Structure 1
Amino acid sequence: MQVFKDRVAVITGAASGFGREFALIGSRLGMKLVLADVQQDALDKTKAELEHQGAQVLAMLCDVRHAEQVQALADAAMKRFGAVHLVFNNAGVGSGGLIWENTQSDWEWVLGVNLWGVIHGTRIFTNLMFECAKSDPQFEGHIVNTASMAGLLNAPAMGVYNVSKHAVVSLTETLYQDLNLVEAPIGASVLCPYFVPTGISQSHRNRPDDVKGDVPTSSQRAAQAISDKAVSSGKVTAQEVAEKTFKAISDKQFYIFSHPGALGNVQEHMEDIILQRNPGDPYKATPHIREMLRAKLKM
Structure 2
Amino acid sequence: MEGRGRRVRRLPQQAAGRGPPGGGAPDAVRAGPAHAVNRRGPIEIDGRVAVVTGGGSGIGRALAEGLAQQGARVVIADVDEPGMAATVEAIEKRGGRALAAPTDVADAAQVQALADRAWQAFGGAHILCNNAGVALWGGLESATLEDWRWVLGVNLWGVIHGVHAFVPRMIAQGQGGHVLNTASMAGLIASQGLGVYNTSKYAVVGLSETLAKDLRPHGIGVSVLCPMGVATRIRDSERGRPAHLRTAAASRPEPVELIGRTLSPESVAAMAIDAIRDNRLYVITHEEGLEPLRRRFQRLEQAILSKKT
Using the size of structure 1 for normalisation, the TM-score is: 0.84
In structure 1, list runs of 5 or more residues that go unmatched. Answer: 134-138, 278-299
Residue 135 of structure 2 contacts residue 197 of structure 2 at CA under 8 Å; is this kept in 1? Answer: yes
RMSD, matched Cα: 1.7
Residue 91 of structure 1 contacts residue 114 of structure 1 at CA under 8 Å; is this kept in 2? Answer: yes
Q: Name segments (4+ residues, structure 1) moved above 4 Å.
A: none
* Match in the other structure for 2:142: 101
Residue 242, structure 1, aligned to residue 283, structure 2:
no
Aligned-partner Cα distance in 2 for 1:192–1:107: 21
Kindly provide the amino acid, as one letter, of the partner of residue 131 in structure 1. Answer: A
What does 1:263-282 correspond to in 2, within 5 Å?
263-276=290-303
Deviations 1:40-97 (A, max 9, x none): 1111111122122222212111000010000000001000111100010000000011
Q: Which residue of the other structure, out of 150, 160, 172, is the alignment partner of 2:196?
A: 160
* Match in the other structure for 2:74: 33
Deviates more, 1:164-173 or 1:50-59: 50-59
Residue 193, structure 1, aligned to residue 220, structure 2:
no
Q: Which residue of the other structure, out of 173, 179, 183, is the alignment partner of 1:132?
A: 173
How far 1:247 moved relative to its partner? 1.1
Aligned-partner Cα distance in 1 for 2:145–2:183: 22
* Match in the other structure for 2:182: 146
* Match in the other structure for 1:175: 211
What does 1:1-299 correspond to in 2, within 5 Å?
1-133=42-174, 139-180=175-216, 183-216=217-250, 218=251, 220=252, 222-223=253-254, 226=255, 234-276=261-303
Deviations 1:235-270 (A, max 9, x none): 421111111111112222110011033122012112
SS of 1:253's partner is: coil
Identity among equivalent positions (%) equals 41
Kindly provide the amino acid, as one letter, of the partner of residue 129 in structure 1. Answer: M
How far 1:230 moved relative to its partner? 8.0
SS of 1:44's partner is: helix
Kindly provide the amino acid, as one letter, of the partner of residue 124 in structure 1. Answer: A
* Match in the other structure for 1:297: none
Give 1 or 2: higher helix fraction: 1
Kindly provide the amino acid, as one letter, of the partner of residue 251 in structure 1. Answer: D
Residue 58 of structure 1 contacts residue 77 of structure 1 at CA under 8 Å; is this kept in 2? Answer: no
Aligned-partner Cα distance in 2 for 1:82–1:121: 17
Aligned-partner Cα distance in 2 for 1:109–1:191: 21
Aligned-partner Cα distance in 2 for 1:156–1:129: 38
SS of 1:162's partner is: helix
Aligned-partner Cα distance in 1 for 2:278–2:173: 22
Kindly provide the amino acid, as one letter, of the partner of residue 227 in structure 2. Answer: P
Using the size of structure 2 for normalisation, the TM-score is: 0.82
In structure 2, list runs of 5 or more residues that go unmatched. Answer: 1-41, 305-309
Kindly provide the amino acid, as one letter, of the partner of residue 206 in structure 1. Answer: G
